[in-house]
Amino acid sequence: MVAVAHGSRDPRAAATVTALLEAVRARRPDVPVHASFLDHAPPAPEAVLDGLARGGADEVVVLPLLLTAAYHSKTDVPGALRRAGERHPRLGLRTAGTLGPHPLLVAALERRLAEAGVPPGDPDTAVVLVSAGSSDASANATIGRLAREWRSRGWWDVVPAYAATARPAPAEAVAALHDAGAPRVVVASYFLAPGRLADRVRSQSLAAGATAVSAELGAAPEVAELVVLRYDAVFTAIPAHGLAWRLARDRSRASANRFAIFPAGLASGFAPPVRARARVTAEEDSPGGS
């Protein structure tokens, strides 16, 4: 497994990913697990894939540690696979789906809120669900849908907010809930790891009147379990939300000895790995929460 995290200049982020992957290794000691980062921190995914190929690896599962399907999972990760496949035509490559959305992440959010003194589903508490925000409207819509579904747990209300790019901002959402009469307003941090963005959300939310701001999801047991689930789904044909690519032979061009990448939708499974050849012909279309 090559886990691909967003990456940050803040060393706490890499330390959090390290802790999460240690929890994954404890659950699956039979699987070699490697960390990589898309931005700001080494190693890059392609560097890890290059090293594994040189070391004789036959097959790799690339697993995005991203909470929503957005630019990184739709563009950066497929691009890294394409380039690695061109350099290492004998390396079998599969890509798992993004972590979210999934009920285990809601359970992890409630764990972090409980650690901050907020009982799950408290009818006197309104929750602002804060993600990083994205230029991808579908990623932001995913957060809005998650907030609506989470209301059924009994909260006074649950509303989405976005740290960047989209509105409302966390402080705006906190103020709006107070204006609407919420007895108590708390913020649930839909971030995988700490960093400057999460720090800014915390300070601005508290200044706007939030009673509590939960910690990032990090190495919560539910997140580690979800990583294993996404990994296993690649081999058991269990559909995964978000991006799910598979490498498959392009039969119409078999005589040209070429291969193509096809997106696997929610209703489709994962094909057995194939060997990437000299050209990969197709590619599907920030950060969806790091």
**Comparing 147-151, 214-218, 270-274, which segment has the lowest mean pLDDT?**
270-274
Which percentage of the chain shows pLDDT scores above 70? 80
Position 280 pLDDT exceeds 70:
no
Residue 253, helix vs strand vs coil: helix
- Predicted confidence (pLDDT) per residue in 248-273, tens digit: 223 223 322 322 222 332 222 323 33
8 Å CB contact between 289 and 109: no
Q: Across residues 66-84, what is the average pLDDT?
A: 83
d(CA 86, CA 88): 6
User: Which one, of 280, 270, 267, 234, lies nearest residue 89 by Cα?
Assistant: 280
Position 145 pLDDT exceeds 90:
yes
User: Which one, of 161, 168, 153, lies nearest residue 114 by Cα?
Assistant: 153
**Comparing 52-61, 164-173, 269-278, which segment has the lowest mean pLDDT?**
269-278
Residue 216, helix vs strand vs coil: coil
Whether 103-213 and 2-99+222-263 are alike in CATH topology: the answer is yes
d(CA 99, CA 219): 13
pLDDT value for 74: 76
More confident call, 118 vs 7? 118
Give residue for tokens 């709006």.
176
Position 290 pLDDT exceeds 80:
no
Q: Which long-range contacts (CB under 8 A, 24 or more apart) does 162-167 make?
A: 162/130, 162/131, 162/132, 162/133, 162/134, 163/130, 163/131, 163/132, 163/133, 163/197, 163/198, 163/200, 163/201, 164/132, 164/133, 164/197, 165/133, 165/134, 165/135, 165/140, 165/286, 166/133, 166/134, 166/140
**Comparing 7-11, 128-132, 190-194, 262-266, which segment has the lowest mean pLDDT?**
262-266
pLDDT value for 71: 66
pLDDT value for 239: 44
Q: Where are the domains positioned within the chain?
A: 2-99+222-263, 103-213
CATH 1.10.4160.10 fits 103-213, yes or no: no
- Predicted confidence (pLDDT) per residue in 13-50, tens digit: 999 999 999 999 999 999 999 999 998 999 999 999 99
Position 275 pLDDT exceeds 90:
no
Q: Across residues 147-154, what is the average pLDDT?
A: 97
User: Which one, of 222, 225, 261, lies nearest residue 244 by Cα?
Assistant: 261
pLDDT value for 135: 84
- Specify the CATH architecture of the domain 2-99+222-263: 3-Layer(aba) Sandwich (3.40)
**Comparing 5-19, 25-39, 131-145, 233-247, which segment has the lowest mean pLDDT?**
233-247
Q: Where are the alpha helices (DSSP H) in the chain?
A: 11-27, 45-54, 71, 77-87, 103-115, 137-150, 170-179, 196-207, 221-236
pLDDT value for 30: 97
8 Å CB contact between 198 and 168: no
d(CA 221, CA 27): 10
Sign of the four-CA dihedral 278, 281, 286, 290: negative
